[in-house]
Amino acid sequence: MLRDGRLLHDVDEVSRRVAELDGTAAVDVTVDAGLDWTPDMMSDRARSRRRAHLTELGIPPTPARERRTR
């Protein structure tokens, strides 16, 4: 886990936002570092929306990597 990086920030943000929901007694966010996520795991529609969003932000989308077999 990236202690000083974005991942820790995201975990803190998720914890904070979920804790704000009515009826929430406790929040425990677990990060699974075993998943190598790539855009090719997304549906075609979601991938297209992601590509458009990245383009709007001026971030060139990376080409989808082939799915790894284990």
Q: How far is the C-alpha of 29 from the C-alpha of 61, rounded, in Å?
A: 28
pLDDT value at position 6? 55
pLDDT value at position 9? 64
Answer yes or no: are the C-beta atoms of 60 and 54 closer than 8 Å. Answer: yes
Q: Where are the domains of the chain?
A: 1-33, 36-70
pLDDT value at position 7? 61
pLDDT value at position 13? 87
HSE of 65 in the Cβ direction (CA atoms, 13 Å)?
6
Answer yes or no: are the C-beta atoms of 47 and 65 closer than 8 Å. Answer: no
Tens-digit pLDDT profile for residues 6-46: 566 688 888 999 999 999 999 998 877 777 777 778 899 99
